[in-house]
Amino acid sequence: MKFADIAKRAKATKIACVLEDKNGEQWVDTGYAKYKLEGLPKMNSADFLRLAGVSEERIDTYFMDRVEEKPEMLSNEVYGEIELTSDMAGLVVDLDGFRLMPFYTMLHGVVWVDVKEIEPVLKGKTDYLRFYLRSQGERFQIAVKDGMVLIALIWEYQMGDHLLQQVATLYHQCMSRGVAKESEEGGKNMKYEVCENCGAHLDHGEKCDCENEE
């Protein structure tokens, strides 16, 4: 991961807490995620912000005092973690300043994460990205690994009533719009819609008259 991408997240959240795992490797907690700091000298939180280009006058405006309550979570492996083998959904919902994307899981339904927290990982040079689900209390974290080495921990965005209502509204609006399908006609791809009531093929925007016949 590039330091600049990690520093961008710290500046956005106004949180930069440098942590150390049991192996002496350093991480930075930006509030919604923790990123491994690689190829950098030992530093404290203020040093991190200086390196990120934050002026001395503004360093005190950042929160820098968080302590990792469960340092074992920064280990490469944690008992009970589940590998997420399905691809990321590819659907993004903008809500209250968050860019939320769902991870589909077999045992726990949908887990939402903020795309902005994953960007430093996706922009970095990695050999083989793998995603794991870790439970911490009543919340989940997405553990991101490069091969078998943990490089980031990202908190889930817990789905409340507001997000659930927005997703439900989106679903119902999509169903009302209809489903576009493709057929081969005259050697060309022709798009049409399907009436959910009788199955008739309709031109784009055309309304079926089957209900009138009833």
Number of structural domains (the chain) is 2
Instruction: Read off the pLDDT of residues 58-92 as tens digits, 9 standing for 90 and up.
Output: 999 999 987 766 778 899 999 999 998 766 667 88
Supply the range of the domain harboring residue 68. 3-82+113-157
Instruction: Read off the pLDDT of residues 30-63 as tens digits, 9 standing for 90 and up.
Output: 999 999 999 999 999 999 999 999 999 999 999 9
Asked whether residue 128 falls in the same domain as residue 59, the answer is yes
Asked whether residue 130 falls in the same domain as residue 63, the answer is yes
Confirm whether 64 is domain-assigned: yes
Asked whether residue 41 falls in the same domain as residue 117, the answer is yes
Instruction: Provide the whole-model pTM.
Output: 0.78
Confirm whether 145 is domain-assigned: yes
On the CB side of 61, how many CA atoms lie within 13 Å of its CA?
10
Ranges of residues in the chain whose predicted pLDDT is under 50: 186-187
Confirm whether 169 is domain-assigned: no
What per-residue string of b and e applies to 6-15 under the rule 16 or more CB within 10 Å gives b?
A: bbbbbbebeb
